[in-house]
Amino acid sequence: MIIYEMKKPIECYDTDCVGVTGDNIAYTQYFYIKGVSDDSISYTLHLRFADGSVNSITPDNAVPDGEGTEIRWIVKKNDIFKHGYFELQIEGRNKFGLVFQTEIVRLYADESLPVEDREYANPNSETVRLRDEAYAALEEMKKQQAQIEENVEKIKQTDLDNKADKATTLAGYGITDGENIGNKVAEKNKITDEDANYPSIGYLHDYYYDYGEVDEALSGKLDNTSGAVTTDNIASKAVTNEKIANGAITAFKIANGAVSGSNIAQYQISTNHLQNGAVTTDKLADEVKTGISSKYDSSNVETGSGTLTPYTTSADIVKSADFTYQRVGRVVTVNVNIVFNAGTKSQVMFINLPYVCKNTVNPRELCVSNSRVSRIWAINKNNTTLSIFSDSSLSYADGETLAYTLSYLIS
């Protein structure tokens, strides 16, 4: 038995702490730790042998007696890795972690005690851990070797010595869908297949304008805009009597400002043109009439839509009220659609017509709802108020609609 005062060994009943000896393959060794008497502590024996191998063992029994704890270790075959002296240290832990470690003592295992057969793994053995690490390293080496072989194959595939020699055709490089020279044409009369033939640079140069040639050609043309016909144009005969007589200057161009009052005022169209009949009153009158008759003055027409807002006294009986309108000049035509809630009213009033009424009297007219009930609508002049009324109170059904059209002056 080896006796400890807490961490420090103080007595050993066997000389040089030799305790793992004898002819038995299982030998009992006792340790007693004074001052530690806690049954919540678990113990582990750590053994280090002369060859550097390490083993950790759970003792067979640990019994506290109030003054200390007695630990019993029955030595087994798998506990000893090598004969001879070895070091031993006792460690105590609880659920919170390490409690203490004793100082190291030396014990001796003679050759009469069998050692572990290394062919079989001891889960506590450091040797087993080292063996697993060796196996893992071997597997990693195998993977690296496979990667090296793969890289070597890729290098071989990219080696220029393995490539096709340069040839007079693209097929020498494995390209089978290259340009077919036989389909290239340099003249229009050489085209035999419009889907397969394609132009050469010479063909493009001969039959297509480049941007410089287009700019040069356009620079000599007159724009169809105001100011394009100038005194210089007339003086240089860019605008001649024949061109005017043949319709080169028409009411359409006049309407678009290509020939404007400013052109005439600046003598771009002079009295000479009028005197020699190139531009006559009849020609201008006919051209202008024809051009204007086909015009649509969109600035004088307006369409739109909106929502009528009922007076507070009428709000409870109106479910919805909306309208669409079209204004042509001074007259606006409004298509009104009103949906009623159930109730009784003698007059329903709205605001927000699209324009203020400028009639000399309040316009009014008879209309009929979808329930065939007669109503009268009226618009207050100088206002946007629309009224629906009858001589006496009338009942409206839920969902009853009133749709009609009204027209009035706005200026």
Instruction: Write the pLDDT tens digit of every residue in 11-31.
Output: 665 444 444 444 334 478 889
User: CB of 148 within 8 A of CB of 155?
Assistant: no
User: CB of 377 within 8 A of CB of 395?
Assistant: no
Residue 338 CB coordination number (10 Å): 26
Kindly report the pTM of this predicted structure. Answer: 0.31
Q: What pLDDT sits at residue 60?
A: 92
Cα separations (Å) of 315 from 197, 321, 336, 362? 77, 11, 17, 23
Domain over 301-409 is classified CATH 2.60.90.10: yes
Residue type, 25: I
Q: What pLDDT sits at residue 336?
A: 94
Q: What pLDDT sits at residue 228?
A: 60
Residues in the chain where the model's pLDDT stays below 70: 11-26, 112-129, 131, 159-180, 203, 211, 220, 222-297
Class for domain 2-128, per CATH?
mainly beta
Cα–Cα nearest to 358, from 280, 411, 282:
411
- Tell me how far apart the alpha carbons of residues 65 and 44 are, in angstroms, rounded to a whole number: 19
Q: What pLDDT sits at residue 224?
A: 64
Grouping H, G, I as helix, E, B as strand and the rest as coil, residue 359 is: coil
Q: Give the β-pairing of 27-34 and 42-49.
A: unpaired
Residue type, 95: K
Instruction: Delimit the domains of the chain by residue range.
Output: 2-128, 231-293, 301-409
